[in-house]
Structure 1
Amino acid sequence: MIAPPDPCLVLIADDDREVLNALRFALELEGYQVGAFATGRTLLEAAHGAPAACLVIDQKLPDTTGLELIIRLRALGVATPSVLITTNLPTHLRIRATTLAIPIVEKPLLTDALFATIRELIGGPTLGG
Protein backbone atom coordinates (compact mmCIF):
# COMPACT_ATOMS: atom_id res chain seq x y z
CA MET A 1 0.00 0.00 0.00
CA ILE A 2 1.35 3.41 -0.97
CA ALA A 3 1.20 6.10 1.69
CA PRO A 4 -0.80 9.21 0.77
CA PRO A 5 1.21 12.41 0.33
CA ASP A 6 1.79 14.57 3.36
CA PRO A 7 -0.28 17.68 2.54
CA CYS A 8 2.31 19.92 4.19
CA LEU A 9 5.56 18.41 2.91
CA VAL A 10 7.44 20.26 0.16
CA LEU A 11 10.74 18.90 -1.16
CA ILE A 12 13.20 21.37 -2.72
CA ALA A 13 16.24 20.72 -4.90
CA ASP A 14 18.66 23.59 -5.54
CA ASP A 15 22.45 23.47 -5.47
CA ASP A 16 22.73 27.11 -4.35
CA ARG A 17 22.86 26.77 -0.56
CA GLU A 18 21.68 30.35 0.02
CA VAL A 19 18.65 29.90 -2.23
CA LEU A 20 17.92 26.52 -0.67
CA ASN A 21 18.05 27.91 2.86
CA ALA A 22 15.98 30.97 1.94
CA LEU A 23 13.31 28.80 0.31
CA ARG A 24 13.24 26.43 3.25
CA PHE A 25 12.86 29.32 5.70
CA ALA A 26 10.14 31.04 3.65
CA LEU A 27 8.14 27.86 3.12
CA GLU A 28 8.37 26.98 6.80
CA LEU A 29 7.03 30.45 7.61
CA GLU A 30 4.12 29.65 5.28
CA GLY A 31 3.45 26.55 7.42
CA TYR A 32 4.95 23.84 5.21
CA GLN A 33 7.35 21.12 6.31
CA VAL A 34 10.39 21.19 4.04
CA GLY A 35 13.00 18.73 2.87
CA ALA A 36 15.96 20.43 1.16
CA PHE A 37 18.43 18.77 -1.21
CA ALA A 38 21.44 19.98 -3.20
CA THR A 39 21.27 17.37 -5.98
CA GLY A 40 18.71 15.70 -8.14
CA ARG A 41 19.82 12.27 -6.95
CA THR A 42 19.12 13.02 -3.30
CA LEU A 43 15.70 14.48 -4.12
CA LEU A 44 14.93 11.43 -6.26
CA GLU A 45 15.73 9.13 -3.34
CA ALA A 46 13.69 11.24 -0.91
CA ALA A 47 10.68 11.45 -3.23
CA HIS A 48 10.35 7.67 -3.03
CA GLY A 49 10.60 7.52 0.76
CA ALA A 50 8.61 10.61 1.72
CA PRO A 51 5.39 11.13 -0.23
CA ALA A 52 5.49 14.91 -0.53
CA ALA A 53 2.66 17.17 -1.61
CA CYS A 54 4.88 19.22 -3.94
CA LEU A 55 8.39 19.35 -5.39
CA VAL A 56 10.28 22.59 -6.11
CA ILE A 57 13.18 21.87 -8.44
CA ASP A 58 15.85 24.16 -9.85
CA GLN A 59 16.54 23.68 -13.57
CA LYS A 60 20.33 23.73 -13.13
CA LEU A 61 21.43 21.02 -10.72
CA PRO A 62 24.96 19.60 -10.61
CA ASP A 63 23.87 16.11 -11.67
CA THR A 64 20.84 16.70 -13.90
CA THR A 65 18.37 19.32 -15.07
CA GLY A 66 15.14 20.01 -13.29
CA LEU A 67 13.05 19.01 -16.30
CA GLU A 68 14.89 15.74 -16.72
CA LEU A 69 14.50 15.00 -13.01
CA ILE A 70 10.75 15.58 -13.13
CA ILE A 71 10.46 13.40 -16.25
CA ARG A 72 12.47 10.66 -14.54
CA LEU A 73 10.33 10.88 -11.39
CA ARG A 74 7.16 10.58 -13.45
CA ALA A 75 8.59 7.59 -15.31
CA LEU A 76 9.16 5.96 -11.90
CA GLY A 77 5.53 6.59 -10.94
CA VAL A 78 6.09 9.66 -8.75
CA ALA A 79 3.26 11.95 -9.85
CA THR A 80 3.87 14.61 -7.20
CA PRO A 81 3.03 18.11 -8.48
CA SER A 82 6.28 19.85 -9.36
CA VAL A 83 7.38 23.44 -9.89
CA LEU A 84 10.46 24.30 -11.94
CA ILE A 85 12.44 27.32 -10.78
CA THR A 86 14.87 28.84 -13.24
CA THR A 87 16.33 31.89 -14.90
CA ASN A 88 15.98 32.54 -18.64
CA LEU A 89 14.71 29.11 -19.65
CA PRO A 90 15.18 28.64 -23.42
CA THR A 91 11.97 28.66 -25.44
CA HIS A 92 12.19 24.97 -26.44
CA LEU A 93 12.48 23.92 -22.78
CA ARG A 94 9.67 26.30 -21.77
CA ILE A 95 7.45 24.66 -24.39
CA ARG A 96 8.45 21.20 -23.15
CA ALA A 97 7.61 22.14 -19.54
CA THR A 98 4.27 23.59 -20.61
CA THR A 99 3.47 20.43 -22.59
CA LEU A 100 4.20 18.38 -19.47
CA ALA A 101 2.06 20.71 -17.30
CA ILE A 102 5.05 21.78 -15.21
CA PRO A 103 4.67 25.33 -13.91
CA ILE A 104 7.73 27.56 -14.15
CA VAL A 105 8.63 30.28 -11.66
CA GLU A 106 11.39 32.63 -12.74
CA LYS A 107 14.33 33.52 -10.51
CA PRO A 108 15.08 35.73 -8.74
CA LEU A 109 12.22 34.79 -6.46
CA LEU A 110 11.37 38.35 -5.42
CA THR A 111 7.58 38.02 -5.45
CA ASP A 112 5.22 35.49 -3.96
CA ALA A 113 4.82 33.73 -7.35
CA LEU A 114 6.34 30.50 -6.03
CA PHE A 115 4.05 30.38 -3.00
CA ALA A 116 1.03 31.22 -5.15
CA THR A 117 1.95 28.41 -7.55
CA ILE A 118 2.36 25.91 -4.71
CA ARG A 119 -0.99 26.96 -3.21
CA GLU A 120 -2.58 26.59 -6.65
CA LEU A 121 -1.18 23.06 -7.01
CA ILE A 122 -1.78 21.70 -3.51
CA GLY A 123 -3.43 24.33 -1.34
CA GLY A 124 -1.97 25.66 1.86
CA PRO A 125 -1.03 23.78 4.99
CA THR A 126 -3.62 23.49 7.70
CA LEU A 127 -2.26 24.96 10.89
CA GLY A 128 -2.41 22.74 13.91
CA GLY A 129 -1.98 19.50 12.01
Structure 2
Amino acid sequence: MSQSGTVLIAVRDGMLADSLRFSLELEGYETRFCDEHALSPILRAPHLHGTCLVLDQDVFSRVAEVGESKLPCDPCVPVILMVSQKTERLLAKARTGGVTEVLEKPILGGVMLETIRQVIEKNGPSSQPMRSS
Protein backbone atom coordinates (compact mmCIF):
# COMPACT_ATOMS: atom_id res chain seq x y z
CA MET A 1 0.00 0.00 0.00
CA SER A 2 1.54 3.30 -1.05
CA GLN A 3 1.64 6.02 1.57
CA SER A 4 2.07 9.73 1.26
CA GLY A 5 3.96 12.09 3.45
CA THR A 6 7.49 13.03 4.30
CA VAL A 7 9.65 11.41 6.94
CA LEU A 8 12.60 13.38 8.26
CA ILE A 9 15.32 10.99 9.41
CA ALA A 10 17.77 12.18 12.06
CA VAL A 11 19.89 9.23 13.18
CA ARG A 12 23.64 9.01 13.76
CA ASP A 13 24.04 5.47 12.39
CA GLY A 14 24.42 5.72 8.61
CA MET A 15 23.41 2.10 7.99
CA LEU A 16 20.24 2.54 10.03
CA ALA A 17 19.46 5.80 8.21
CA ASP A 18 19.89 4.13 4.82
CA SER A 19 17.78 1.16 5.89
CA LEU A 20 14.99 3.45 7.11
CA ARG A 21 15.12 5.47 3.91
CA PHE A 22 14.98 2.35 1.75
CA SER A 23 12.01 0.78 3.53
CA LEU A 24 10.10 4.08 3.81
CA GLU A 25 10.55 4.92 0.15
CA LEU A 26 9.36 1.43 -0.79
CA GLU A 27 6.18 2.28 1.11
CA GLY A 28 5.79 5.52 -0.85
CA TYR A 29 7.07 8.03 1.69
CA GLU A 30 9.39 10.85 0.72
CA THR A 31 12.44 10.89 2.99
CA ARG A 32 14.94 13.53 3.95
CA PHE A 33 18.05 13.19 6.09
CA CYS A 34 18.91 15.85 8.63
CA ASP A 35 21.17 16.20 11.64
CA GLU A 36 20.80 18.04 14.92
CA HIS A 37 22.21 21.23 13.37
CA ALA A 38 19.71 21.24 10.50
CA LEU A 39 16.68 20.30 12.59
CA SER A 40 15.75 23.74 13.81
CA PRO A 41 15.43 25.51 10.43
CA ILE A 42 13.81 22.48 8.79
CA LEU A 43 11.27 21.93 11.54
CA ARG A 44 10.32 25.58 11.75
CA ALA A 45 9.59 25.82 8.03
CA PRO A 46 5.96 26.34 7.08
CA HIS A 47 3.86 23.70 5.34
CA LEU A 48 5.09 20.60 7.15
CA HIS A 49 1.65 19.02 7.20
CA GLY A 50 2.00 15.30 6.50
CA THR A 51 5.53 15.19 7.89
CA CYS A 52 7.01 13.34 10.84
CA LEU A 53 10.46 13.20 12.36
CA VAL A 54 12.20 9.93 13.25
CA LEU A 55 15.24 10.41 15.44
CA ASP A 56 17.45 8.30 17.59
CA GLN A 57 18.47 8.75 21.19
CA ASP A 58 21.90 10.16 20.24
CA VAL A 59 20.45 13.01 18.17
CA PHE A 60 17.77 13.68 20.79
CA SER A 61 20.49 13.93 23.47
CA ARG A 62 22.66 16.21 21.33
CA VAL A 63 19.73 18.58 20.77
CA ALA A 64 19.31 18.75 24.55
CA GLU A 65 23.07 19.42 24.96
CA VAL A 66 22.83 22.60 22.89
CA GLY A 67 20.27 23.99 25.30
CA GLU A 68 17.02 23.01 23.61
CA SER A 69 14.62 21.80 26.29
CA LYS A 70 12.07 20.99 23.60
CA LEU A 71 12.60 19.88 20.03
CA PRO A 72 12.29 22.89 17.70
CA CYS A 73 9.26 21.44 15.92
CA ASP A 74 6.26 22.99 14.32
CA PRO A 75 3.37 21.71 16.45
CA CYS A 76 2.02 19.67 13.53
CA VAL A 77 5.21 17.58 13.19
CA PRO A 78 4.97 14.41 15.28
CA VAL A 79 8.24 13.00 16.60
CA ILE A 80 9.15 9.32 16.88
CA LEU A 81 12.13 8.61 19.14
CA MET A 82 14.07 5.34 18.89
CA VAL A 83 15.83 4.33 22.10
CA SER A 84 18.00 1.46 23.26
CA GLN A 85 16.21 1.13 26.58
CA LYS A 86 13.17 2.90 27.97
CA THR A 87 13.86 4.34 31.37
CA GLU A 88 11.61 6.57 33.43
CA ARG A 89 14.13 9.41 33.16
CA LEU A 90 14.32 9.11 29.37
CA LEU A 91 10.54 8.87 29.00
CA ALA A 92 10.08 11.98 31.16
CA LYS A 93 12.66 13.85 29.08
CA ALA A 94 10.92 12.71 25.88
CA ARG A 95 7.52 13.88 27.17
CA THR A 96 8.82 17.34 28.01
CA GLY A 97 10.91 17.42 24.83
CA GLY A 98 7.97 17.19 22.44
CA VAL A 99 8.20 13.50 21.51
CA THR A 100 5.00 11.85 20.28
CA GLU A 101 6.04 8.17 20.32
CA VAL A 102 8.94 6.21 21.83
CA LEU A 103 9.99 2.93 20.23
CA GLU A 104 12.50 0.64 21.88
CA LYS A 105 15.10 -1.06 19.69
CA PRO A 106 15.20 -3.57 18.20
CA ILE A 107 12.15 -2.46 16.26
CA LEU A 108 10.75 -5.61 14.71
CA GLY A 109 8.21 -6.28 11.99
CA GLY A 110 6.14 -3.39 10.75
CA VAL A 111 6.11 -1.44 14.03
CA MET A 112 8.02 1.54 12.65
CA LEU A 113 5.95 1.78 9.46
CA GLU A 114 2.69 1.45 11.38
CA THR A 115 3.76 4.09 13.91
CA ILE A 116 4.76 6.50 11.13
CA ARG A 117 1.49 5.91 9.32
CA GLN A 118 -0.52 6.54 12.49
CA VAL A 119 1.26 9.73 13.53
CA ILE A 120 1.11 11.22 10.04
CA GLU A 121 -2.60 10.39 9.80
CA LYS A 122 -3.26 12.00 13.16
CA ASN A 123 -0.85 14.83 12.36
CA GLY A 124 -1.56 16.07 15.82
CA PRO A 125 0.70 18.36 17.76
CA SER A 126 3.85 16.84 19.18
CA SER A 127 2.63 17.99 22.57
CA GLN A 128 -0.16 15.42 22.50
CA PRO A 129 0.17 12.66 25.10
CA MET A 130 3.12 10.41 24.34
CA ARG A 131 2.51 6.69 23.94
CA SER A 132 5.18 4.17 24.75
CA SER A 133 5.07 1.29 22.30
TM-score by length of 2: 0.69
SS, match of residue 45 in structure 1: helix
| Conserved? CA contact 1:59–1:65, under 8 Å | no
1:44 aligns with 2:43: no
How big is the shift at 1:92? 1.5
1:122 alignment counterpart: 120
Q: In the alignment, which of 70, 73, 83 is matched to residue 86 of structure 1?
A: 83
Shift of 1:101: 5.7
Matched, 1:72 2:71: yes
Over the matched positions of the two proteins, sequence identity in percent amounts to: 29
Gaps of 5+ in 1: 1-6, 124-129
**Residue in 2 that maps onto 1:3:** none
1:104-123 → structure 2 map (5 Å cutoff) = 104-123=102-121
CA 1:113 to 1:70, structure 2 compared with 1: closer, same or farther past 3 Å? farther
Question: Is 1:18 the counterpart of 2:15 in the alignment?
Answer: yes
- Per the alignment, do residues 69 and 119 of structure 1 end up closer, same or farther by CA in structure 2, a change over 3 Å counting? farther
Per-residue deviation, residues 25-53 of structure 1 (Å, max 9, x unmatched): 1110111000012x211233322347261
Instruction: Please report how far the alpha carbon of residue 90 of structure 1 lies from its aligned counterpart in structure 2 after TM superposition.
Output: 2.3
8 Å Cα contact 2:81-2:103 kept in structure 1: yes
Corresponding residue SS for 2:114: helix
| Matching residue's letter, 1:33 | E
Match of 1:97 among 94, 99, 105: 94
TM-score by length of structure 1 reads 0.71
